[in-house]
Amino acid sequence: MSTQLNGKHILVITSNTGIERDELLRPLEALRGFGATLVHGSIKGGSTQTFQHDTEKDRTVESDATLAGLKAADFDALVIPGGTVNADTLRQDSDARRLIKEFVSAGKTVAAICHGPWALIDAGVIEGKTLTSYPSVRTDLLNAKAAGWVDEAVKQCPANGWTLITSRTPDDLPAFNQAIAHALQTAA
């Protein structure tokens, strides 16, 4: 059976700079390919700057909305791309933290890749969960009372009514995108 996400709405949140290009664009492309409607929300709205490997400026991507104008009730899932600057900026943004908490409270799917779990730490939603991430985020997750960290392409953790999906790096994007699609398809 092929994966179909027609009627599903997914929110991808970023800062306006420092976003790992593939971790933004490849989930947008893959999940749209499954039939989902995607919205890219950024802190300031408008133009966002992507990077390759956190150091090389790549292309700019227009976001669809500001985080302040968004609410979890309008979406089925939340995706948080990595990039150290992106993730570090998101974790400090009150609207990003609010949205993460809203998705969790509503029992929805939350997916984060690479450094993206930093935002989950500051939203206070990872205690007792087992995750994966970019290896350097491991200690931060454990210090924030995650139950564990695993070195796997994708980790889906039962999360008391909501679905938590995490991945390590852009190399894991096929598994990450498929896990999001599967979670949304089985939630239908």
CATH code: domain of residue 65: 3.40.50.880
pTM for this predicted structure: 0.96
Nearest to 118 by CA among 139, 103, 104, 102: 139
pLDDT band at 1 (very low <50, low <70, confident <90, very high): very low
Note whether residue 34 is domain-resident: yes
**CB distance 15 to 92 below 8 Å:** no
Mean pLDDT across the chain, nearest whole number? Answer: 95
Catalytic residue among 9, 40, 53, 114: 114
Average pLDDT over residues 115-127: 97
Q: What is the pLDDT of residue 160?
A: 78
Would you tell me how many other CB atoms lie within 10 Å of the CB of residue 113?
Answer: 32
Note whether residue 1 is domain-resident: no
40 catalytic residue (yes or no): no
- Three-state SS string over 121-178 comes to HHHCCCCCCEECCCHHHHHHHHHCCCCEECCCCEEEEEECCEEEEEECCHHHHHHHHH
Q: What is the pLDDT of residue 53?
A: 82
Note whether residue 3 is domain-resident: no
Catalytic residue among 40, 115, 157, 182: 115
Main-chain dihedrals φ then ψ at residue 118, nearest 5 degrees = -55, -40
User: pLDDT by residue (tens digit) across 55-87?
Assistant: 889 999 999 999 999 999 999 999 999 999 999
Residue reference for tokens 């205690």? 127
Residue reference for tokens 């999360």? 159
For every residue of 32-51, DSSP letters joined together read HHTT-EEEEEESS-SEEEEE
Encoded amino acid at 69, one letter: G
Nearest to 24 by CA among 41, 36, 8: 41
157 catalytic residue (yes or no): no
Q: What are 106's two structure tokens?
A: 């509503």
Tell me how many domains the chain contains.
Answer: 1
Owning domain of residue 33? 9-186
Is pLDDT at 116 greater than 60 in this prediction? yes
User: pLDDT by residue (tens digit) across 150-171?
Assistant: 999 999 997 778 999 999 999 9
Q: Which residue has the higher pLDDT, 54 or 57?
A: 57
* CA–CA distance, 30 with 171 (Å, rounded to integer): 14
